[in-house]
Amino acid sequence: MQTVLDKALSAFPRADLLQGPTPIQRACRLEQQLGLHEQQVQLYIKRDDHMLIGGGGNKLRKLEFHLGAALQDGIDTIITVGGIQSNHARLTAAVCARQGIDCELILSRAVPKREADYELNGNRLLDHLFGARVHVLPQGKDAQVQAEIRAAQLRAAGRKPLVIPTGGSTPVGSLGYARCAAEITRQETELDVQFTQVMIANGSAGTHAGLAAGFELLGRGAATVRSWSVLTDRDTAAARTLQLTRQTLALLGSSAALRTDAIDIDASQLGEGYGLPTPAMLEAVQLMARCEGLLLDPVYSGKAFAGLLGDLRQGRYRSGDSVLFVMTGGTPGLYAYRDTFIAR
């Protein structure tokens, strides 16, 4: 049956990069390890790290809608921005390679790390393999401004560039996660479960905003989503997420008035800042790897899962609750953080 959300989404051009839903798996060994059986709380994982292009990750869902619009407009170059180890930049490069579109990445030094692995391994290595043209900015230069300057140069040379901002987190990009809310809802029926909450990492806010807008339109409420900020303090993340959720709802034709408290964000896992490891992240990445054989990442999903572990250990959920953690990818980042995981 077509929902209001399905109908609203069908109005937007989308390039099919996922080719079907990502799996949802129950984390039985983690449930055992955390004593969730006794509490009768179930833990499920949505494998948005498991996709068919570029190593996978949440950015592909946003890129489906960015690329759909770009192809309709006859774009020949995509320029995007991010940190040195940006997963969004890597996936944009992979998608452009597959589509035969030129890709330029404007990368900035957002994290005080200078190890060779950080500078050249992980996502940086893959950007190179996917054939993107990479510009690494000197400290202090604004990547978005540089991207616009580069786009103007290309336009002057007769090209048709598109600039996608940080993380692809515009209302158009967030449609990808509104669509994911519909996908999760269909999978709930197949699995005969209804998730109490859906948990994710929050960086540039598009993933949270898209899911929140989707669940709001489906009548479940935006507060179905809970995220952990890995980039800014709680108030800044909440304000950005609320604004983007409202913009995404408006784009989908909804006039729903979203209350401030519908956005559930926790910043307790940020630690000393974006991209800086914390002991809780380290424990979370190891626990997931050793109990489930699955890979989180050190910057986003590792910190978010550390937050969820905290919630579960503090008994936030009640008997009969089922929670869904969305694994958003980013595993190439593990290779950039070798020193964090293996002490020399």
Ligand X SMILES: Cc1ncc(COP(=O)(O)O)c(C=O)c1O
Q: Which is nearer to ligand X, 278 or 301 (CB)?
A: 301
255 is annotated as an active-site residue: no
Which of 175, 328, 336, 340 contacts ligand X by CB under 6 A? 328
Does position 332 interact with ligand X (CB under 6 A)? The reply is no
Rounded least distance, CB 134 to ligand X, Å? 17
Which of 267, 269, 297, 306 contacts ligand X by CB under 6 A? 297
CB hemisphere CA count around 153 (13 angstroms): 8
> Other CB atoms closer than 10 Å to residue 205's CB: what's the count?
29
Does position 206 interact with ligand X (CB under 6 A)? The reply is yes
- Measured between alpha carbons, how far is 330 from 314 in angstroms, rounded to an integer? 27
**326 within 8 A of 200, measured Cβ to Cβ:** yes
In three-state secondary structure terms, 154 is: helix
Q: Which is nearer to ligand X, 31 or 292 (CB)?
A: 292
Which of 30, 54, 56, 58 contacts ligand X by CB under 6 A? 58
- Measured between alpha carbons, how far is 298 from 285 in angstroms, rounded to an integer? 7
Stretch that binds ligand X, among 26-34, 35-43, 135-143, 201-209 (CB under 6 A): 201-209
Does position 226 interact with ligand X (CB under 6 A)? The reply is no
Q: Which is nearer to ligand X, 28 or 137 (CB)?
A: 137
CB hemisphere CA count around 119 (13 angstroms): 7
**Closest to 284 in 3D by CA, of 46, 30, 37, 32:** 30
Does position 301 interact with ligand X (CB under 6 A)? The reply is yes
- Is residue 316 classed exposed, middle or buried when 0-12, 13-18 and 19+ CB atoms within 10 A define those classes? middle
Q: Which is nearer to ligand X, 9 or 36 (CB)?
A: 9
Which residue is at the shortest CB distance from ligand X?
Answer: 330
Which of 55, 56, 57, 68 contacts ligand X by CB under 6 A? 57
Does position 248 interact with ligand X (CB under 6 A)? The reply is no
**Closest to 90 in 3D by CA, of 116, 114, 61, 59:** 59
Q: Which is nearer to ligand X, 92 or 185 (CB)?
A: 92
Please report the beta strands in 195-344, taking only residues with DSSP state E, as ranges in sequence order.
197-202, 225-229, 264-266, 322-327
Does position 242 interact with ligand X (CB under 6 A)? The reply is no
Stretch that binds ligand X, among 9-17, 68-76, 203-211, 308-316 (CB under 6 A): 203-211
Which of 80, 197, 202, 340 contacts ligand X by CB under 6 A? 202
- Measured between alpha carbons, how far is 162 from 175 in angstroms, rounded to an integer? 18
**Closest to 206 in 3D by CA, of 175, 230, 185:** 175
| Structure-token pair, residue 85 | 């180890």
Q: Which residues bind ligand X (CB under 6 A)?
A: 57-58, 87-88, 167, 169, 201-208, 297, 300-301, 328-330
